[in-house]
């Protein structure tokens, strides 16, 4: 969602926690994908079991079916209508009335005579977005995806759900699944990268973690909602095969494996039909083919009809009926009195209304919400939240470059505190905090914004970034108590460069703020012209100036999307921290000084320049967003076009080294492929390697050069080796047949590669014969 942004548009236009996986464990698999080794902090061990899918899910579902059917039969027409639309937007005080404690995104009253509780919802992309609730700001979802840790994704969902529930919210609106087709998308930080298998698998785990806490998880924005420019009016023009093999595959995995209770349909049109009244998307695919049992909820004001949307499969309208207040903003409800009239007239059958209500009640029963609704008024355990945020951040930070300074044969990182006499920390407000993304995907700063002075021209659509009070500068000083550590704010590049010249090491912090509702103009680090609200100087010029004089220079990035790096060859180290959450300063210092060995890998390609993108520019004057690259989304584009990226998909360095050997492949009786190989830690530090498996399909199928089909995250002590088994379900090798409208595995020879990234030149390769499957 989008609440403040939505209102602004209306005004203007009149709007599971994980367990540590040790080297003697083997990777397992399920129907839709391999479950990588978990390398999760000990802090999440208690929540591990809760984040796993319940063994009695089907039994619970059958009971929920029966109970929901009985309740539906007892409801009056007015009560049914009441249950399928919101009553306004609590966070901005539109609509209602609401209970005084409700400060989230939406609210639907219950039916007390039948024991049906009200349902309050809150945004929760990277934490609960409720003002003054002191909730935990976790690292952004793009950072979570960088961990490639499925168990950590479950823990992430668990943490958010616990905080939702203690505050009284039974539904969280996190769970963004849209692929990074357009890296300048202002919501890239809310999503989990460019690959459907990685995104879908991580989303499913997050969903299971959330729903293990008796909170409804949301998967959004369904579908092909991959840029913010004209997001409410644009038409995604995309062919069937491209949809199925890219973004819809991510949603399919998320839905089939995660069993979310809520799927949110998006603002945009898909091939000329609004997503929230698109019967192919909502009913034919989601409900009938994938077996989705939950409810389909509109994004806030994404519904444009009564009969068309109801018959297409929309089950819940948000924000729903705002009454006179909504009319003043041009927001009307199609599911309040209008839906009642349509049912009475017979244009929407009672059976369809009953199904809408049934899906909601079934979900509430199956997840334990009907029998045990959340009670508002609790307080968030900030100590536990901070602990968990730090654990996620440790696995989210990607080491992109680790070179040696002139005259040294040692990599610049990790820093050895005992050998440092002077450190200069420069820019990025590193003296006071770390950056967060904006919009509904943001999380309020529990103890106030670390950076003051920004003035937004529109109070409903803030252009001012949130900075959490987790100072990297302070954490760095604590790591090197014997060193002199000084800070320069970056506004005087000459002064910063001069200080860097005499220091043992210079650490420059660079930031890129992004938010829902607006795409980035480009992937360059913003200066004071590109982002005047949050940036006072030219960041690229600062880095160049410091690099020209520093003995050793490290750049730490806090960003939501890839950035171009014209200065890359001039710096010794680059650390990708994303939006690292409320413990980000500490986590960055832990990585810089080697107290934590980085294990994260990129979930998205970093291009060298915008000209290398499939869509070189975003045209605000063209409402048709044509997916002309077809199947070549993300790394597939760079592979097929032989474009050298700045950093490839799946890339990330460590403070130790790894080697792969002995790849063998075979098929089982179900047509699944098992890839077996050995990963060895050949360095001097314990660490964790994300061992990725890619497949090249037989020629003549019109497929990209390779696709990710599985991975394992392996924890290894120094000198230790481990045999890894990655099970590749047959479906991972399938293509979409547009004639039969189904998945098909073509018989033939498939090349399987085990690699440290999508561009690993030392990848192991083995061919395996696969039989035809329909």
Mean pLDDT of the 448-455 span:
92
329 and 454 co-located in one domain: no
426 and 558 co-located in one domain: yes
Provide the pLDDT for residue 302: 97
Distance CA 255, CA 219 (A): 8
347 and 470 co-located in one domain: no
List beta partners, residue 753.
Answer: 694, 765
- State whether the Cα torsion 761-762-764-767 is positive or negative: positive
Which of 579, 604, 629 represents a domain boundary (last residue)? 604
Q: Please check the confidence at residue 695 and state whether its pLDDT lies above 90.
A: yes
Do the beta carbons of residue 470 and residue 583 sit within 8 Å?
Answer: yes
Which of 342, 375, 408 represents a domain boundary (last residue)? 375
User: Token pair of 24, please?
Assistant: 């003697």
Concatenating the DSSP letter of every residue in 585-642 gives HHHHHHHHTTSS------SS-B-SSGGGSSSSS--TT--EEE-TTTT--THHHHHHTT
Distance CA 206, CA 260 (A): 10
Q: Please check the confidence at residue 600 and state whether its pLDDT lies above 90.
A: yes
Mean pLDDT of the 637-659 span:
98
450 and 349 co-located in one domain: no
658 domain residue, yes or no? no
Distance CA 602, CA 563 (A): 13
362 and 479 co-located in one domain: no
284 and 401 co-located in one domain: no
To the query of whether residue 644 is one of the catalytic residues in this protein, the response is no
Q: Please check the confidence at residue 768 and state whether its pLDDT lies above 90.
A: yes
Provide the pLDDT for residue 16: 28
Do the beta carbons of residue 189 and residue 560 sit within 8 Å?
Answer: yes
Do the beta carbons of residue 450 and residue 385 sit within 8 Å?
Answer: no
Which of 375, 408, 432 represents a domain boundary (last residue)? 375
Beta-strand runs (E) in 436-488: 467-468, 484-488
Annotate 224-259 with three-state secondary structure.
CCCCCCCCCCCEEECCHHHHHHCHHHHHHHHHHHHC
709 domain residue, yes or no? no
pLDDT band at 60 (very low <50, low <70, confident <90, very high): confident
CA–CA distance from 413 to each of 289, 416, 571, 656 (Å)? 50, 8, 12, 11
Mean pLDDT of the 470-489 span:
98
Tell me the pLDDT tens digit for each residue of 408-418. Answer: 999 999 999 99
Provide the pLDDT for residue 56: 62
540 and 585 co-located in one domain: yes
37 domain residue, yes or no? no
Provide the pLDDT for residue 41: 39
Cis omega (within 30 of 0) for bond into 221: yes
Report the Cα–Cα distance between both ends of the chain, in Å, rounded.
38
- State whether the Cα torsion 340-346-347-351 is positive or negative: positive
- Determine which of 17-31, 37-51, 677-691, 751-765 has the lowest per-residue pLDDT on average: 17-31
Tell me the pLDDT tens digit for each residue of 282-318. Answer: 999 999 999 999 999 999 999 999 999 999 999 999 9
Mean pLDDT of the 235-254 span:
98
Q: Is 372 left (phi over 0), alpha (psi -120 to 50) or beta?
A: beta
Distance CA 43, CA 129 (A): 23
The CATH code of the domain that includes 176 is: 3.20.20.300
Provide the pLDDT for residue 57: 56
Do the beta carbons of residue 252 and residue 732 sit within 8 Å?
Answer: no
Angle between helices 337-345 and 350-366 (to 10 degrees): 130
Tell me the pLDDT tens digit for each residue of 133-189. Answer: 999 999 999 999 999 999 999 999 999 999 999 999 999 999 999 999 999 999 999
185, 195, 226, 299: which one is catalytic? 299
128 and 235 co-located in one domain: yes
Q: Please check the confidence at residue 29 and state whether its pLDDT lies above 70.
A: no
Tell me the pLDDT tens digit for each residue of 91-113. Answer: 888 888 899 999 999 999 999 99
248 and 354 co-located in one domain: yes
347 and 423 co-located in one domain: no
- The reply to whether the predicted model has a pTM over 0.95 is no
Element (H, E) at 167: none
Distance CA 86, CA 104 (A): 12
Among candidates 385, 347, 316, which has minimal Cα distance to 173?
A: 316
543 domain residue, yes or no? yes
Q: Domain count for the chain, please give it.
A: 2
Q: What percentage of the chain carries pLDDT values higher than 70?
A: 92
Q: Please check the confidence at residue 35 and state whether its pLDDT lies above 60.
A: no
Provide the CA 437 distance to its chain's centre, in angstroms.
12
Distance CA 704, CA 125 (A): 31
Element (H, E) at 166: helix 150-166
Instruction: Look up tokens 């017979």; give the residue.
Output: 346
Q: Is 301 left (phi over 0), alpha (psi -120 to 50) or beta?
A: left
Provide the pLDDT for residue 330: 83
Q: Please check the confidence at residue 766 and state whether its pLDDT lies above 80.
A: yes
Do the beta carbons of residue 587 and residue 596 sit within 8 Å?
Answer: yes
512 domain residue, yes or no? yes
336 and 407 co-located in one domain: no
148 domain residue, yes or no? yes
Task: Give the sheet arrangement for strand 119-122, strand by strand.
Answer: 106-108, 119-122, 171-172
350 domain residue, yes or no? yes
How many CB atoms are located within 10 Å of the residue 325 CB?
A: 15
List beta partners, residue 735.
Answer: 744
363 and 404 co-located in one domain: no
Tell me the pLDDT tens digit for each residue of 542-587. Answer: 999 999 999 999 999 999 999 999 999 999 999 999 999 999 999 9
The CATH code of the domain that includes 521 is: 3.40.50.1700
User: Token pair of 460, please?
Assistant: 């409903």
Q: Please check the confidence at residue 27 and state whether its pLDDT lies above 60.
A: no
Q: Which residue range(s) make up the domain with 130?
A: 3-17+85-375
β-strand pairing of 262-265 with 295-298: parallel
Distance CA 244, CA 734 (A): 11
768 domain residue, yes or no? no
Distance CA 739, CA 734 (A): 14
């Amino acid at each position: 969602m989008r609440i403040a942004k939505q209102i602004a548009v209306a005004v203007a236009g009149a709007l599971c926690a994980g367990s540590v996986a040790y080297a003697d464990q083997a990777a397992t698999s399920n129907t839709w994908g391999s479950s990588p080794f978990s390398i999760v902090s000990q802090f999440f061990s208690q929540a591990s079991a809760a984040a796993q899918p319940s063994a009695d899910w089907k039994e619970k579902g059958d009971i929920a079916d029966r109970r929901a059917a009985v309740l539906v039969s007892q409801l009056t027409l007015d009560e049914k209508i009441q249950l399928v639309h919101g009553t306004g937007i609590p966070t901005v005080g539109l609509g209602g009335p609401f209970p005084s404690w409700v400060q989230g995104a939406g609210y639907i009253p219950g039916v007390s005579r039948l024991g049906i509780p009200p349902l309050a919802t809150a945004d929760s992309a990277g934490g609960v977005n409720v003002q003054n609730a002191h909730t935990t700001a976790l690292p952004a979802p793009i950072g979570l995806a960088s961990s490639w840790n499925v168990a950590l994704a479950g823990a992430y969902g668990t943490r958010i759900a616990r905080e939702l529930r203690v505050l009284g919210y039974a539904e969280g609106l996190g769970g963004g699944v849209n692929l990074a087709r357009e890296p300048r998308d202002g919501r890239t930080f809310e999503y989990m990268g460019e690959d459907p298998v990685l995104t879908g698998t991580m989303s499913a785990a997050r969903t299971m973690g959330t729903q293990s806490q008796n909170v409804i998880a949301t998967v959004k924005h369904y579908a092909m909602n991959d840029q913010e420019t004209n997001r409410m009016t644009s038409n995604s023009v995309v062919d069937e095969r491209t949809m199925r093999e890219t973004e819809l595959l991510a949603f399919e995995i998320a839905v089939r494996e995660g069993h979310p209770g809520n799927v949110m349909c998006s603002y945009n049109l898909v091939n000329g039909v609004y997503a929230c009244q698109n019967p192919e998307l909502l009913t034919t695919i989601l409900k009938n083919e994938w077996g989705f049992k939950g409810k389909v909820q509109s994004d806030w004001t994404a519904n444009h009809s009564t009969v068309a949307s109801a018959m297409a499969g929309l089950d819940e309208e948000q924000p729903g009926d705002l009454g006179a207040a909504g009319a003043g903003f041009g927001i009307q409800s199609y599911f309040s009195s209008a839906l009642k009239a349509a049912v009475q007239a017979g244009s929407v059958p009672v059976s369809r209304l009953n199904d809408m209500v049934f899906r909601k009640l079934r979900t509430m029963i199956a997840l334990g919400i009907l029998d045990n609704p959340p009670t508002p008024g609790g307080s968030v355990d900030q100590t536990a939240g901070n602990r968990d945020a730090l654990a996620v951040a440790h696995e989210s930070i990607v080491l992109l470059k680790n070179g040696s300074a002139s005259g040294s044969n040692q990599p610049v990182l990790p820093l050895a505190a005992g050998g440092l006499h002077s450190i200069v920390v420069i820019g990025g407000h590193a003296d006071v905090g770390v950056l967060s993304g904006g919009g509904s995907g943001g999380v309020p700063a529990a103890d106030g914004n670390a950076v003051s002075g920004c003035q937004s021209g529109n109070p409903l659509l803030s252009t001012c970034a949130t900075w959490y009070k987790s100072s990297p500068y302070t954490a760095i000083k604590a790591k090197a108590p014997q060193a002199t550590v000084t800070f320069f704010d970056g506004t005087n590049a000459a002064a910063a460069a001069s200080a860097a010249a005499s220091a043992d090491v210079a650490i420059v912090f660079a930031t890129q703020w992004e938010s829902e509702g607006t795409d980035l103009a480009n992937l360059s680090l913003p200066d004071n012209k590109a982002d005047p609200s949050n940036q006072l100087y030219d960041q690229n010029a600062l880095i160049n100036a410091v690099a020209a004089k520093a003995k050793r220079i490290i750049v730490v990035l806090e960003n939501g999307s890839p950035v171009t790096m014209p200065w890359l060859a001039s710096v010794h180290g680059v650390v990708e921290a994303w939006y690292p959450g409320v413990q980000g300063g500490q986590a960055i210092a832990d990585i810089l000084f080697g107290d934590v060995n980085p294990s994260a890998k990129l979930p998205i390609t970093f291009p060298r320049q915008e000209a290398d993108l499939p869509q070189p520019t975003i045209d605000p004057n063209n409402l048709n967003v044509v997916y002309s690259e077809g199947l070549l989304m993300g790394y597939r584009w760079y592979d097929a076009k032989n474009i050298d990226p700045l950093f490839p998909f799946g890339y990330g360095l460590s403070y130790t080294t790894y080697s792969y050997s002995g790849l063998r492949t075979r098929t089982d009786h179900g047509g699944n492929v098992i890839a077996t190989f050995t990963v060895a830690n050949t360095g001097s530090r314990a660490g964790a390697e994300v061992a990725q498996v890619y497949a090249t399909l037989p020629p003549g199928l019109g497929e990209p050069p390779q696709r990710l089909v599985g991975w394992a995250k392996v924890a290894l002590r120094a000198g230790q080796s481990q045999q890894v088994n990655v099970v590749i379900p047959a479906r991972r090798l399938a293509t979409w047949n547009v004639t039969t409208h189904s998945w098909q595995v073509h018989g033939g020879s498939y090349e399987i590669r085990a690699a440290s990234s999508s561009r690993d030149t030392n990848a192991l390769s083995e061919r395996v014969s696969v039989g035809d499957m329909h």
